Structure 1
């Protein structure tokens, strides 16, 4: 029986191995679709639990997590060797290797998709952000966002073979389906660069309407490049071919984050995650009309289509979940609990030769422990939505608090603080100071033993989360308070 099963699995993989990119982004439209099967995997890079979750898309079931690092404060030690702030993700054209970028430990981890085992970890420059294989599989390009270059790695030796100099803060790169061009947007400068992959040279520059681009994608037709502007809440489109002219700018909403494409019988559609609205917006790529707005949950971040375009998966950063969208109806059909603060998502068809393989996977453990709150103005209209969502991620000894803040004045200083009373009155204990972006939004983080905001058993030490105007040394009046 075991021999028959092995032969069956081998035949299945052989029959579908030619469909490397599955006709969906980041591959070419001409590639055939790969129907959803138990051989497929949905991966999510989880920033605060330092894990990669592994989900079976057939029944939308979490199989386990690949633990790359420890939670705080264990990873503060100078002797610590694990990964910190697991964030970016890409995969090889043959679907055998996953690459995972960890911002805090300046690393790229290579994982065998068949066994979930770490093959190698390469350490590179300061604060890398995203990584992806070139379409021929011969190189891995990594945006070193804390510096000014792309680190080009050899996936065979795992070593850096060269660098491509860019303006400071390259955010993400993606490639044309034919492998001719690489497109690199910036997180610090209003410029997206077009690079000749063969020559590793910048051949064109496209103006970004603002400096902060976190994500970029190319249509499977290879005719358009879409990139997001997180600071202004917009999405830009330009021609993927020379002379790389701008095509369209779309006002998508506060904390616009990732974009990707699903090709169906009705055409090619762009799915854009809008964290400040807790929505995914869907646009046609031919006339740029918006065809759907999908409520998905708190702070949608990464997005990736299935191999046949029938589903689109979205990581919910402040809900510790993976949302599955049916692309035919543009409705959420499943919600999968995963690790803490998912960032990048990757759907990899035929990643698992043996669908029953569970080695090197662990349970969520403490990574599954989180509390959710919301903040809203004191004078919020009845029935109005709370603009700010908050997650309190349990790290064991301490907690990490992350607030997806919206609804404030643009480019103003604020303080996230604890108040003694539910209405925000009394002395304030600052947790984090921040400034809003041009869209009046911000992602705010704090860490410490701050269970008192959710501890219902201790009335003496109970505190309430607020946002006040001003600075930490002298906070003003609260402008948003906890909702109950």
Structure 2
């Protein structure tokens, strides 16, 4: 390329960045930070708890580049000598976008992964059942909520060693920070209260009541004025003031299995995107008046969600479909899906995760180019068994085929057996139920109980069990076919099927 052409392209790119993207930062950055246009240097990472993988996706063409394999499927992970990770679940990333922190809740680990090489550079083991981890805004600390206990484990951002603990109510669910760097917000999964903690001295300075105990996710707006949190058990989303006195601003009834929330700023304003797992959709709310402005059907059991660096896209992991959906935030519609590992949980979009090629003219120029083959793809593996799963639905025996089925089921292959995960909705709140195999499609005949469960206040539940279930419900080979059903009651005392298998 001639020198004059290079200069022209650079001037054009600088002008575009300066006019279109200035002062419009996306979560978790500050509102004063410039937007970062999408490029092949960006990555979407999803944590997948049944395949124990992190899938790495190029968001420009929605292409799966490969997986970072942190653990093995069954039965290898049952060995007493097993050293891999179990139930890969939580996600966070550093302010310089060069490290992701991946939490494995079953092995009590925080894995620190280099975004340029996809290599694990350190593993820190913390207390029982950590859930999520995130860096402070200056990158000096990583706060890990230890949901199985009553504290936040504070790690040094450079050595990754624990430096202190912040005692909080039982079951901290997630932490996120105000973009102005002042506060950490820690919601709870076991106690109906969110704590506000000063980043500088780790002191609790505010307490916000939750409408119910089970908060899995929390997000702060880029202007540091609002904090949004989800309540998975009661199907609500709450908003409180991000500054003192941290007053509760709004409680929204969002729907069964309300999962994650994140904030998007675009030409139309600032919005909260909430994944509603039981409805297989995303609900979009304005942050100024809390009006719902869109409902986006996305697929089975949407979970983690994160905006692109320029707010033009938002990405969501589909837990019971093993896919990522890309959404145009101006049209609020799904524009692409791509495959990932089994049962994606948390998901993050990291702009400029892959450094520019050596000798590049400048960052503005390289953003217009395709990243050279192999850059940012080392240490990645193909999906393999992590890409093997089957899906089906359960609905009322009287439901018509065109009616929406309330319960989605995913069967994630683990060799000869599968992990069954059912996102159950449409039942009576706070009642005992049973998922079982029946010899008849109507739910009658001989029954084989698989798992008992209790519905939450929204009449929903996420139910898991394990076994050679796909072979039975598909009638593979010479195996007599069985049918998944849900019945009220217990294995010893149950009623007739209220939901039956639908292909």
The 1:173/1:21 distance shift into structure 2, 3 A limit, reads farther
Secondary structure of 2:496's counterpart equals strand
- Contact kept? 1:126, 1:147, Cα under 8 Å: yes
Is contact 2:472–2:479 with CA below 8 Å preserved after alignment? no
How far has the Cα of 1:452 moved from its partner? Answer: 2.8
Counterpart of 2:378? 359
Q: Which runs of 5+ in 2 are unaligned?
A: 1-9, 356-372
Q: Which moved more, 1:367-376 or 1:345-354?
A: 345-354
| Paired position in structure 2 for 1:70 | 72
- Range 467-476 or range 241-250, more displaced: 467-476
Deviation of residue 158 (structure 1)?
Answer: 1.5
1:59-111 deviations in Å (ceiling 9; x for gaps): 00000000000012211111100000000000000000000000000000000
Is the partner of 2:498 in helix, strand or coil? strand
Q: CA deviation at 1:121?
A: 0.6
Change (3 A) 1:300 1:141: same
Q: 1:171 to 1:20 in 2, by over 3 A?
A: farther
Q: Distance in 2 between matches of 1:452 and 1:81?
A: 30
Corresponding residue for 1:349? 351
Deviation at 1:355, TM superposition (A): 6.9
Q: Which stretch shows the higher mean deviation, 460-469 or 240-249?
A: 460-469
* Whole-Å separation in 2 of the counterparts to 1:117 and 1:475: 50
Q: CA shift at 1:475, angstroms?
A: 3.2
Matched-pair contact (CA < 8 Å) for 1:413–1:469: yes
1:443 aligns with 2:462: yes
Residue of structure 1 in register with 2:297 after alignment: 295
Deviation by residue 1:198-249 (Cα, 9 ceiling, x = unmatched): 1111111000011110000000111000000110100000000000011001
Q: Which runs of 4+ in 1 moved over 4 A?
A: 19-22
Query: What is the distance in 2 between the residues matched to 1:301 and 1:38?
Result: 24
Instruction: Spell out the pairing of 1:159-308 with structure 2 (5 A cutoff).
Output: 159-308=161-310
Mapped to 1, the partners of 2:452 and 2:177 lie a distance apart of 38
Q: Does 1:425 align with 2:444?
A: yes
Aligned to 1:81: 83
Counterpart in the other structure of 1:154: 156
Residues 1:397 and 2:434 aligned together? no
Give deviations 1:379-438, integer Å, cap 9, x for gaps: 114521110000000011321000000000000000110011111111211111100000
Runs of 5+ unmatched residues, structure 1: 1-7
Q: Distance in 1 between matches of 2:66 and 2:479?
A: 39
**2:7 counterpart residue number:** none
| SS of residue in 2 equivalent to 1:366 | helix
TM-score by length of 2: 0.91
Residue of structure 2 equivalent to 1:368: 387
> Structure 1 length normalisation: TM-score?
0.95
- What does residue range 105-124 of structure 1 map to in structure 2 within 5 Å? 105-124=107-126
**Matching of residues 317-328 of structure 1 within 5 Å:** 317-328=319-330
Matched, 1:34 2:53: no
Task: Compute the displacement of 1:20 (Å).
Answer: 13
RMSD over aligned Cα, in angstroms?
2.0
SS of the residue corresponding to residue 90 of structure 1 reads strand
Number of matched pairs: 472
CA offset digits 1:148-201 (Å, max 9, x no partner): 000000122111000000000000000000110000000001100000111111
Which secondary structure does the structure 2 equivalent of 1:216 belong to?
strand
Q: Name the structure 1 match of 2:93.
A: 91
Shift of 1:266: 1.3
Give distance in 2, aligned partners of 1:26 and 1:452: 44
Q: What secondary structure sits across from 1:352 in the alignment?
A: coil
3-state DSSP of counterpart to 1:453: helix
CA shift in 2, pair 1:232/1:38, >3 Å: same
1:3 is matched with which residue? none
Q: Which residue pairs with 1:474 in the alignment?
A: 493
Partners of 1:458 and 1:355 lie apart in 2 by 42
Which of 445-454 and 210-219 deviates more?
Answer: 445-454
Pairwise CA distance, 1:459: 5.6
Instruction: State how far apart, in whole Å, the 1-side matches of 2:319 and 2:24 are.
Output: 27
Tell me if the contact between 1:261 and 1:270 (Cα under 8 Å) persists in the aligned partners.
Answer: yes
How far is the alpha carbon of 1:265 from its aligned partner? 1.4
